[in-house]
């Protein structure tokens, strides 16, 4: 096993109510890596986290810091190098200081040292001023900071976060995410976070695991998974609204030329790693995330360039600093654009120019070869 692999599991299986709710052949986590685990409700995300933290009866081979973990002694030792934060802060009665110190107390850290360590982590989470407050008087955001400080005080090798930001309002969440990222980078803590919120992931995570029906559908760096989903099912879950069936052929420059079915529109797409064409022309599908579709007022981009289209806005949805558009360019597409790109409010029926960057267009593996 590679030196910097902190956690690994082979042939993991969890059975509940007579049904296998988790089945994973192999997963590994490297030191300092932040992994986001996402997927629809009931996909098995929390079960995976709990199984890895030895909080869920399961079958499989577990490795922690290079050691095969089997038997209660080894499990207990591994458990002591892990910490978990849940959606609900789950604080015990008492002050913030007492809550942060509780794990240290259980691990036998003596009085003064324990208070010093707890104070250090309260300070790191910017809640030192709340040390003596009864936790019942804390806001949701403050309580979650106490919960994170309590976990970090154990200086875990692996930190498990199960949807820790769910109950926080946007500014509280944004501040905590930013501070947590710095803290985890500083400590080099390997972190696994279950999350539904795709907006957290590009900032926090190095890698995404997409789960469905108890198994892993895709694992990879954040950008790769978001831009190049392996299947239509994963793409749809990850919010890729633009998915078009069409015909793929190889262009002279090595890129793909993709003709969207039943239109005369041809897209140029950069070839992804490992993508090869099996025949002269194949039926498959292409996709692009709405945020990568560049939408501008009419005639503000050169129309003769590849992947530039003129289209008509069919619907505008204002979203604060963004507009979400439905646009007809000969085929229908969704786009997300910053309000700063438009000098005046765009309306239904307006003509716009649209550019689809070739490197952001993903071609699915062909399903039917000619
Ligand atoms: N005790 C149980 N008996 C039977 N099935 C169970 C039991 N506990 C969990 N399950 C099932 O296991 C599956 C995975 O549950 P899990 O909580 O891990 O999903 P999840 O991806 O975390 O979901 P969510 O996003 O809703 O929190 C679900 O279908 C759930 O109904």
Sheet holding 82-85, edge to edge: 82-85, 158-162, 190-194, 34-38, 207-212, 215-221
Q: What is the pTM of this model?
A: 0.90
> According to the model, what pLDDT value does residue 10 have?
97
What is the span of the domain harbouring residue 335?
Answer: 240-363
> What's the CA-to-centroid distance between 234 and ligand 1, angstroms?
19
Q: Is residue 10 part of a domain?
A: yes
Q: Which of 182, 212, 232 is the endpoint of a domain? A: 232
Within this chain, do residues 125 and 178 fall inside the same structural domain, yes or no?
yes
- Residue with CA at minimum distance from ligand 1 atom 7: 16
Would the ipTM clear 0.85, i.e. be above it? yes
Within this chain, do residues 111 and 136 fall inside the same structural domain, yes or no?
yes
> What's the CA-to-centroid distance between 56 and ligand 1, angstroms?
12
Mean pLDDT computed over 68-76: 94
Within this chain, do residues 359 and 255 fall inside the same structural domain, yes or no?
yes
> According to the model, what pLDDT value does residue 274 have?
67
Within this chain, do residues 257 and 195 fall inside the same structural domain, yes or no?
no
> What's the CA-to-centroid distance between 148 and ligand 1, angstroms?
24
- Residue with CA at minimum distance from ligand 1 atom 6: 16
> What's the CA-to-centroid distance between 133 and ligand 1, angstroms?
36
The CA angle 111-117-121, to the nearest 5 degrees, is 140
370: confidence class by pLDDT, cuts 50, 70, 90: very low
Query: Tokens 């500014």 label which residue?
Result: 171
Query: Residue 176 is part of a domain; what is its CATH number?
Result: 3.40.50.300
Within this chain, do residues 191 and 280 fall inside the same structural domain, yes or no?
no
330 Rama class: left (phi>0) / alpha (psi -120 to 50) / beta: left
Within this chain, do residues 125 and 34 fall inside the same structural domain, yes or no?
yes
- Residue with CA at minimum distance from ligand 1 atom 1: 16
> What's the CA-to-centroid distance between 27 and ligand 1, angstroms?
20
Within this chain, do residues 195 and 309 fall inside the same structural domain, yes or no?
no
Q: Is residue 41 part of a domain?
A: yes
- Residue with CA at minimum distance from ligand 1 atom 14: 44
Q: Which of 232, 254, 279 is the endpoint of a domain? A: 232
CA-atom Rg of the chain in angstroms: 24
Mean pLDDT computed over 131-138: 94
State the closest ligand 1 atom to the C-alpha of 40, by its place in the atom list counted from 1: 25
Q: Is residue 32 part of a domain?
A: yes
Q: Is residue 157 part of a domain?
A: yes
Angle between helices 111-124 and 140-152 (to 10 degrees): 130
- Residue with CA at minimum distance from ligand 1 atom 16: 44
287: confidence class by pLDDT, cuts 50, 70, 90: very high
Q: Is residue 333 part of a domain?
A: yes
367: confidence class by pLDDT, cuts 50, 70, 90: low
Substitution candidate for ligand 1 out of 23, 24, 39, 45 with most atoms within 8 A of CB? 45
Q: Give 256-295 as a 3 state SS string.
A: EEEEECCCCCEEEECCCCCCCCCCCCEEEEEEECHHHCEE
Q: How far apart are CA 153 and CA 205, in angstroms?
A: 22
Q: Is residue 370 part of a domain?
A: no
Q: Which of 172, 200, 232 is the endpoint of a domain? A: 232
> What's the CA-to-centroid distance between 126 and ligand 1, angstroms?
35
Within this chain, do residues 224 and 248 fall inside the same structural domain, yes or no?
no
- Tally the domains of the chain: 2
Highest mean pLDDT out of 99-108, 156-165, 267-276: 156-165
Query: Residue 262 is part of a domain; what is its CATH number?
Result: 2.40.50.100
Q: Which residues line ligand 1 (CB under 6 A)?
A: 16-17, 21, 39, 41-47
Angle between helices 140-152 and 170-187 (to 10 degrees): 10
Could you tell me which of 322, 333, 321 has the C-alpha nearest to residue 260? 333
Q: pLDDT tens across 13-63, in order?
A: 999 999 999 999 999 999 999 999 999 999 999 999 999 999 999 999 999
Q: pLDDT tens across 235-283, in order?
A: 999 999 999 999 998 877 778 899 998 888 899 998 766 666 666 788 8
Q: pLDDT tens across 166-219, in order?
A: 888 888 888 889 999 999 999 999 999 999 888 888 889 999 999 999 999 999
State the closest ligand 1 atom to the C-alpha of 196, by its place in the atom list counted from 1: 25
- Residue with CA at minimum distance from ligand 1 atom 8: 16
Q: How far apart are CA 361 and CA 285, in angstroms?
A: 10
Q: Is residue 107 part of a domain?
A: yes
> What's the CA-to-centroid distance between 42 and ligand 1, angstroms?
5
Could you tell me which of 65, 91, 35 has the C-alpha nearest to residue 219? 35
Which carries the bigger pLDDT value, residue 59 or residue 306? 59
> What's the CA-to-centroid distance between 154 and ligand 1, angstroms?
28
- Residue with CA at minimum distance from ligand 1 atom 26: 41
Q: How far apart are CA 68 and CA 70, in angstroms?
A: 6
State the closest ligand 1 atom to the C-alpha of 49, by its place in the atom list counted from 1: 18
> What's the CA-to-centroid distance between 151 and ligand 1, angstroms?
24
Q: pLDDT tens across 309-358, in order?
A: 999 999 999 998 999 999 999 999 999 999 998 888 899 999 999 999 99
> What's the CA-to-centroid distance between 261 and ligand 1, angstroms?
39
Q: Is residue 368 part of a domain?
A: no
Backbone angles phi, psi at 193, to 5 degrees: -125, 125
Within this chain, do residues 302 and 160 fall inside the same structural domain, yes or no?
no
Within this chain, do residues 203 and 319 fall inside the same structural domain, yes or no?
no
Within this chain, do residues 225 and 308 fall inside the same structural domain, yes or no?
no
Within this chain, do residues 304 and 270 fall inside the same structural domain, yes or no?
yes
């Amino acid at each position: 096993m590679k030196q910097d692999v902190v956690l690994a599991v082979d042939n993991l299986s969890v059975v509940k109510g007579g049904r296998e709710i988790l089945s994973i052949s192999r997963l590994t986590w490297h030191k300092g890596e932040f992994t986001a685990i996402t997927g629809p409700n009931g996909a098995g995300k929390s079960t995976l986290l709990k199984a890895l933290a030895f909080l869920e009866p399961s079958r499989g081979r577990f490795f922690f810091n290079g050691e095969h973990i089997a038997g209660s002694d080894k499990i207990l030792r591994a458990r002591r190098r892990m910490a978990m934060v849940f959606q609900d802060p789950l604080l015990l009665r008492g002050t913030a200081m007492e809550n942060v110190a509780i794990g240290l107390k259980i691990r036998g850290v003596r009085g003064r040292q324990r208070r010093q360590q707890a104070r250090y982590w309260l300070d790191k989470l910017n809640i030192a001023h709340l040390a003596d407050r009864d936790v019942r008087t804390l806001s949701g955001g403050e309580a979650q900071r106490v919960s994170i400080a309590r976990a970090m005080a154990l200086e875990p090798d692996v930190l498990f976060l199960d949807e820790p930001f769910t109950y926080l309002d946007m500014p509280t969440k944004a501040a905590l995410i930013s501070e947590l990222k710095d803290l985890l980078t500083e400590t080099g803590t390997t972190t696994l976070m279950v999350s539904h919120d795709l907006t957290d992931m590009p900032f926090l995570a190095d890698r995404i695991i997409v789960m469905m029906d108890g198994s892993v559908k895709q694992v990879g760096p954040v950008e790769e998974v978001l831009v190049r989903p392996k299947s239509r099912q994963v793409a749809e879950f990850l919010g890729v609204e633009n998915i078009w069936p069409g015909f793929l052929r190889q262009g002279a420059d090595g890129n793909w030329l993709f003709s969207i079915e039943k239109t005369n529109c041809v897209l140029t797409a950069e070839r992804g790693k490992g993508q090869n064409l099996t025949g002269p022309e194949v039926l498959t599908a292409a996709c692009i995330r709405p945020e990568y579709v560049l939408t501008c007022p009419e005639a503000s981009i050169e129309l003769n360039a590849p992947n530039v289209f003129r289209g008509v806005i069919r619907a505008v949805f204002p979203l604060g600093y963004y507009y979400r558009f439905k646009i007809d360019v000969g085929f229908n597409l969704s786009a997300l654009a910053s309000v700063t790109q438009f000098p005046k409010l765009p309306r239904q029926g307006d003509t716009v120019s649209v550019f689809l960057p070739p490197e952001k267009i993903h071609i699915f593996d062909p399903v039917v070869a000619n």
